[in-house]
Structure formats: structure tokens, C-alpha cells
Amino acid sequence: MSSTDTTDTEEEAAPETDEAREELLAALTAELGDAVVGSHIRPGDDLWVRVDRSAWRATGEFLRTGLGFAYFNFLSGLDWLPSPFGRDMDSQVDLTLEAPEPKEAEPQESGYAGGDTRFQVFARVNDVVGLRSITLKADVADDDPRIDSWVPVYPGADWHERECWEMYGITFDGHPGLRHLYLPGEFEGNPLRKDYPLLARRVKPWPGIVDVEAMPGDDDEDGGGSAEGGDDTAGAST
């Protein structure tokens, strides 16, 4: 069976509705009201819910104490800004130490459950008893990227929030100690923001973007030059 046939079969087998996730969304909406600003259900797969940032901690509290989602999975940030450098960072011909020229920005998209800002925080928690999972999202202001910490609700969020603060510049109010996790204390900038140029990739290309030699026997198969004369394609890039 081809991959196309497999995909078609999976689409045909996917349920049209998902009562369990619809009930979970209804419970969140009943508790949080207008603070639920976006949602997306992929039947048989997952549920995404976007809440107002003012309700971020309350959402975590209700999920844990009210709905039994006691297992914290992860928390991180999102930067939906299309890279102003285009594909500059993985283009062999653009590898220079000079600052790259910004390119025309592509339209911003915000994934499942939508979004109104460049930056978002998202997290995933699980109900290991009921075998349920949910992904939460919240917009944070572009000019003041901050949101309440989940550490008082899910202590395991501690290092995740530190990483998010370090890499995206998002502040978590109420966190017991935001400080660098990977980078030196005097480091400036947030490396996972789309407008942060990765100097290391301007010095050394991504793995795979390199010149390679032809494999033994390639010249004979192509009817090309001899071992002494070489083949014009022997040093071509892949």
C-alpha cells in the first residue's frame, strides 16, 4: 500500500466527532467563560484551547484540581513572527559574517486555536487516570511579554519557565527565581526569537549543506571522465 493510500485510509477512519473532548471543552468553557478565546478539536487525536492570559493560572488550577489533570507534561513559548531573514540561515550561498538583509515578511499564522499576538505560551497536561490530554495556549503582549507562573500549580513548570524566559524573553510573574539555565548570566538577547540572527550558522553551515565527492563508480556509471581527468560533476553540491 502506498503512503497516499495509507493517508486516505486514515482520513476515512478518523471520527467526525469527539464527544470526550467536546465535554472537556464544555467543562472549561463553563468554568472560565469568556476567558476561553479559541479552541480546536481534532477528533480522535487532540484538543487545543487558547485562553486569555489573565486566566492562565486559573486554567491550570481548574485542570489540576477540578478535572484531574495532575501530570504536567511541558511548557514553552512560540514566536509566530515569520523570519525576517527568510531561509538565510540555511542557505550555503548566503554564509557571510555581514549582517543579512531583511526580507519581505510573510503573513503571520498562529496555528491551532488561533492567536492575536506574535508571542504565545503553550503547555500540555495529562490526566493519567482518565487517559486524557490537553494543550493550552495563551497570547502574551508583544510589547510586554509576561504571564502568571504555573509553578504554584505545577512545580514541574519551574525549569520550563526558566528556559522560556531565557530563550523567548517571556516573564513569568510569581516564578520563584527566573535566571539563566543554559546561557551565561551576562548573555544578551533571546536566541529562539525569529529576529535573532544565529551567528554560528553564518560561520558553519547546517549539517548536510556541504560539498561532497562522488562515490566510487559514479564516473563509470555516468560515462564520464577517468580517474585522472576527473568528472565535472565530482565536486558538485547535493
> What span, in angstroms and rounded, lies between the C-alpha atoms of 224 and 127?
63
Q: Are residues 31 and 120 in the same domain?
A: yes
pLDDT score of 32: 98
* Residue predicted with more confidence, 10 or 107: 107
220 and 149 share a domain? Answer: no
| pLDDT above 90: residue 6 | no
Rg of the chain over all Cα atoms, to the nearest angstrom: 24
Structural domain contains residue 4:
no
**Assigned domain for 66 exists:** yes
More confident site: 155 or 15: 155
Total domains in the chain come to 2
Confidence (pLDDT) at 87: 55
pLDDT-derived band at 42, boundaries 50, 70, 90 = very high
Instruction: With cut-offs at 50, 70 and 90, classify the pLDDT of residue 230.
Output: very low
CATH number at residue 163: 3.30.460.80
Nearest to 87 by CA among 69, 64, 70, 104: 104
Q: Which long-range contacts (CB under 8 A, 24 or more apart) does 105-114 make?
A: 105/81, 106/82, 107/82, 108/80, 108/81, 108/82, 109/80, 110/80, 111/48, 111/78, 111/80, 112/40, 112/42, 112/48, 113/38, 113/39, 113/40, 113/48, 113/49, 113/50, 113/137, 114/37, 114/38, 114/50
Judge whether residue 125 has pLDDT over 70: yes
Assess contact for 148 and 124: CB atoms under 8 A: no
- Indicate whether 199 and 213 sit together in one domain: no
Please check whether residue 5 lies inside any domain of the structure: no
Specify the pLDDT at position 186: 84
Task: Say whether pLDDT at 132 is over 80.
Answer: yes
Q: Are residues 213 and 191 located together in one domain of the fold?
A: no
Give a yes or no: residue 216 inside a domain.
Answer: yes
Q: Of 154, 157, 123, give the one whose Cα is nearest residue 140.
A: 123
Is the pLDDT higher at 217 or at 196? 196
Residues 117, 229 within the same domain: no
Same domain for 215 and 131: no
If asked whether residues 183 and 216 sit together in one domain, one would say: no
- pLDDT bin (cut points 50, 70, 90) of residue 93 is very low
Residue-range definition of the domain harbouring residue 141: 16-206
195 with 94, same domain: the answer is yes
- pLDDT at residue 224, as a whole number: 47
Is residue 10 situated within a structural domain? no
| Pair (202, 214) in one structural domain | no
Residue 29 domain flag: yes
Looking at the fold, whether 92 and 172 belong to one and the same domain comes out as: yes
Reported pTM: 0.72
